[in-house]
């Protein structure tokens, strides 16, 4: 565990004040953890479904695949394709909700260490580009 950079004694015998080195070390560790968590999210996949249609997305929300069973389309019904589109959208929303939840679980503890710069809904500054689910920092 690293030293507390805000320790008035600086973690040193006899004092020493603010420890900028320890603060920079903690920031670097947090950045490494964030990069590792983002890489895990890119590799992870979740499925969402609606009406038999299944959509797979990465943990960062990238669409990876769509499975449409033959029963989802009725060739005799002209509105069937429109309904199929709605099912795909609903399945994607389901998968994206799961991906956002997973991202919040992985990245939330890291965001909490940044002093209140946002959370799963994004902070006052909004979401950070490239982070899933609008996680803001």
SS3 content of the chain, % helix, strand, coil (to 5): 45, 15, 40
Predicted local distance difference test score (pLDDT) of residue 87 = 94
What are the boundaries of each domain within the chain? 45-103
DSSP secondary structure letters along 10-70: TTSTT-----HHHHHHHHHHHHHHHHHHHHHHHH-EEEEEETTEEEEEETT--EEEEE--G
> How much is the pLDDT for 122?
43
Handedness of CA 110, 115, 121, 126 (dihedral sign): negative
Given this structure, which CATH class describes domain 45-103? alpha beta
* Mean pLDDT of successive 10-residue stretches along the chain, which has 137 residues: 56 64 87 86 91 92 93 85 91 94 82 49 43 45
């Amino acid at each position: 565990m690293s030293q507390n950079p805000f320790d008035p004694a600086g973690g040193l015998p006899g004092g020493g004040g603010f420890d900028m080195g320890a603060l920079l070390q903690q920031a670097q560790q947090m950045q490494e953890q964030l990069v590792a968590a983002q890489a895990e999210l890119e590799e992870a996949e979740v499925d969402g479904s609606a009406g038999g249609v299944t959509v797979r997305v990465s943990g960062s929300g990238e669409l990876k695949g769509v499975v449409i069973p033959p029963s989802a389309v009725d060739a005799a019904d002209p509105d069937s394709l429109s309904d199929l589109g709605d099912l795909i959208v609903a399945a994607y929303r389901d998968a994206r909700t799961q991906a956002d939840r997973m991202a919040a679980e992985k990245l939330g503890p890291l965001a909490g260490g940044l002093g209140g710069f946002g959370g799963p809904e994004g902070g006052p500054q909004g979401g950070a580009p490239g982070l899933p689910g609008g996680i803001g920092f």
